[in-house]
Chain A
Amino acid sequence: MLLEKLSNAQAVAGREKEVRDIIIEAIKDNVDDFRTDVTGNLIASKGKEKSGAKVMLAAHMDEVGLMISEINGQGLLKFKPVGGFDKRVLVSKEVVIGQDKIPGIIGAKAIHLQKKAARKKPISYDNLYIDIGAKSDKEAEKLVSPGDMATFPTKYNQIADNIVTGKAFDDRVGCAILAELTAEDFSFPVEFVFTVQEEVGLRGARQAAYAINPDIAIVIEGTTAADVPENEEHRYSTTLGEGPALTIRDRSIVVNKKLLQELINTAEKNNIPYQFRRTTAGGNDAGVINISREGIPAAVISLPCRYIHSPVSLLNLTDYQNLKSLLTNFLIDSQGKEF
């Protein structure tokens, strides 16, 4: 399954190759042409010659990860986050480093050796290390270098009916949905854009939007579902199993109202369950696309995922299917109209 392949692959900001290659393999026979631009965005076109509003669909290839920053004198590796992390999720995890996927672990001082007071505070980046089992700096340097990227070797797994776990659902779900969508035909030009470096400041979508200059844009994201016991209901943001989440506004964009209404209409017409994203925290590629040139009406449809930006997330495949269905029906119904 494409989502499984994409979720298991490693692609931290700036090093999206593994994911890019999987996507190219999946779409190359479905699209008219594809190219990469100078920052590494993958842009695939269908129906360039057709009339009607040009639609840009976007999902980002990069995931949050870690960068090895130095080898510290005992063969241990210090690292920095690339993208937003709650550092508390890092301790006691496995990682894989670089193209060769060198295995390592992020350990912690044994509980026996810690003072009671220290156990109340999260471990800072200064005290977190990746251990690859090297006995010296020299040995470590043969296998890894500062600048190498590390991610988690979490394997995609179905754990219950329609429930899957894995890493990087933000935003491999978007990549998978768009890649699968290339199999459809539309009556208007569509640009499928797999962006880079979203997690480090939306540093791919901007360039793609400028180059393409679409009439409308839709971004598919994996977003927070915080419908868990420690949270009060009004802070859930989205709820698992209640369908794709439509953004009204977030930190980066106020979604075009007409576009949003069309999406709602499509969902209702086709009996597709949907919800609203009920927080405005966080931004995404749509924000920079929206203010490109003279402005581009843009919308965001997100898949609710629990525990994003951590080594393992969880989602409901029914939501995935419903998102895909919503997007497909919207595109077909909209028939290339402008907003």
Chain B
Amino acid sequence: MTNFSEKKDELTELIKELSEINAVSGQEDSAFTLVKNYLDNYCQDISSDNLNNLIAKKSALSEDESNPKIMLAAHLDEIGLMVKSIDDKGFIKFATIGGVDPRTLPAQEVIIQGKEEVAGIIGAMPPHLLSKKERNKAHKLEDLYIDTGRKPENLQDIVQIGDPVTIKRELTSLQNEFVSGKALDDRAGVLMMLITARELAKIKHEAEVYFVATSQEEIGVKGSQTATYNIFPDIGIAIDVCHGLMPGVDKGDAAKMADGPAVSFGPHVHPDLFNLITETADNYNIPYQKSPTTTPYGTDAASIQITKSGVATALISIPLRYMHTSVEMISLDDVKAGGQLLARVIAEIDKDFLEGLQCY
């Protein structure tokens, strides 16, 4: 078991660990030990299921069938690439796992998760050799390849078709509380979930809480579907990232950076939950932003809400710039605030609140 505190350097260390571990959709188990180490402090029961969801259960104070059952979901998987073909010179062609923009790939260092880790470069032709026309066209996925510098016979037993590939990126601390790295979508969400667990340990709560690091969100919010079916909570709160304001992005499509986590509302969010979250934030002076959206698609909230006979759902997001690049950027303050907020929200949920959920 490892523990952590709220101090900036410890949180930074933790987000660094979470960001740098390589766990592409389908390979989430590589990050299990890391996440388990922290959740072990707060949860009695940690297991994984058939789809690589990591499910940690924290029992309520008293065992009672009618205790509210709350599930938090932050996805553990990251987007990445997959080896699809190795040519006779040893150059590796790849497919994408999740929404990868091919334009973010040229001139990147990558790590192939083969039998051992193999370093490579997604090559970019120098400008001297390119025509003006070529330089004005974005790279197509089909034309990109990984150069490991090795001959095919040296790759043979180490790298094979299907091996995942991630961008080699270490976390960078920028000014203020901003950090940048790969996979902050949704490792920042996982961090928020860990902070919630930690904060919750200090408060009394009626509810039984499930902390779920979901799998395969990036390729179709799959893990959350089966995890929710399994647990079938009364309330499901998805923790993900949303777009952060930057030039060229409309206010209506993004949230401000470092202005508190974004609390989503729209058809996918139960109005009582939205009100509870915002009122709780107001009461405890926790910064947050209201984030209206027309659709839950793109987060675990989409599958949670429609499971079985329905789950009251909410979505809280960390504003993030440069989503799905390897230099995603978030504010640790937003993550901290979200964790504190969720813990307070969970503590407010009792049997009466549950009853009200069916009243429209």
Contacts and interface: CB of A to CB of B under 8 A. Distances in A.
Direct contact of A and B (CB under 8 A): yes
A185 to B, nearest CB: 27
Interface stretch (A171-179, A206-214, A298-306): A206-214
Say which size band chain A's interface belongs to.
35 or more
Nearest to B274: A147
A288 to B, nearest CB: 9
B252 A38 contact: no
B295 interface: yes
B311 interface: yes
Interface string A127-156: 000000000000000000111000000000
A14 B267 contact: yes
Given A13-B267, A200-B267, A203-B267, A37 B292 contact: no
A147 B290 contact: yes
B131 interface: no
Contacts of B357: 38
A249 interface: no
B99 interface: no
Given A80-B252, A203-B267, A17 B360 contact: yes
Interface string B247-276: 000111100000000000111101000000
A147 B289 CA distance: 13
Interface in A197-250: 197, 200-201, 203, 206-208, 210-211
B312 interface: yes
Contact of A78 (B250, B294, B307, B311): B250
Contacts of B326: none
A273 interface: no
Contact of B309 (A17, A42, A207): A207
Interface in B284-298: 290, 292, 294-295, 297
Contacts of A17: 360
Interface in A18-58: 20, 35-42
A40 B292 contact: no
Contacts of A318: none
Nearest to B307: A207
A207 B307 CA distance: 7
Given A36-B358, A42-B360, A146-B290, 11 more contacts: A38-B309, A38-B357, A39-B310, A67-B266, A70-B251, A70-B252, A78-B250, A82-B267, A126-B250, A200-B267, A211-B310
22 contacts: A14-B266, A35-B358, A37-B358, A38-B311, A39-B270, A40-B360, A67-B294, A68-B292, A69-B252, A70-B252, A81-B294, A82-B267, A82-B294, A126-B250, A147-B265, A147-B290, A203-B267, A203-B305, A207-B308, A207-B309, A211-B309, A211-B310
Interface of B: 250-253, 265-268, 270, 290, 292, 294-295, 297, 305-312, 357-360
